[in-house]
Amino acid sequence: MGFTEKQEALVNSSWELFKQNPSYSVLFYTIILKKAPAAKGMFSFLKDSAEVVDSPKLQAHAEKVFGMVHDSAIQLRASGEVVVGDATLGAIHIQKGVVDPHFVVVKEALLETIKEASGEKWRQELSTAWEVAYEGLASAIKKAMN
């Protein structure tokens, strides 16, 4: 079964909740660094600060990542596949030293952040919808890295 209208709606509604509160961007980074402390030096906007602090840059980058997963859900629903618009994305991630296990870390951080953002609205099918959208996008980026 392909990505359903219901799954798209679940991703849409929790994406709105994520956007409403900048602290979720901080949470997202914090979880990534807890799982992969060595990733800190990879991010230009993190490597010089002792801890994850809120900044417009951090927020913009995190929102972009979540926004792309949201867009991936829309694409999966519309066409069944994910096309990455930004042709430089593969090269950026290679250059930063990103490897496959990092994609698992970012996925787990994304799902935990969505769980926090959706609060009592959280349910397994909501999480699964985000996971499917993320996996579609991650494989498109990994393909671009090869």
Binding site for ligand ISQ (CB under 6 A): 29, 61-62, 65, 106
Query: Residue 107 is encoded by which pair of tokens?
Result: 């996925």
CA 22 vs. chain centroid, Å, equals: 15
Query: Residue 69: enclosing H or E segment and its boundaries?
Result: helix 56-79
| DSSP state letters, 87-134 | TTHHHHHHHTT--HHHHHHHHHHHHHHHHHHHGGG--HHHHHHHHHHH
Considering only residues 41 through 100, tell me which ones interact with ligand HEM, judged by CB under 6 A: 42-45, 61, 64-65, 68, 89, 92-93, 96, 98
33 binds, among ligand HEM, ligand ISQ, none (CB under 5 to 8 A by kind): none
Smallest distance from the beta carbon of 13 to ligand ISQ, in angstroms?
A: 22
Residues that bind ligand HEM (CB under 6 A): 39, 42-45, 61, 64-65, 68, 89, 92-93, 96, 98, 102-103, 106, 134, 137-138, 141
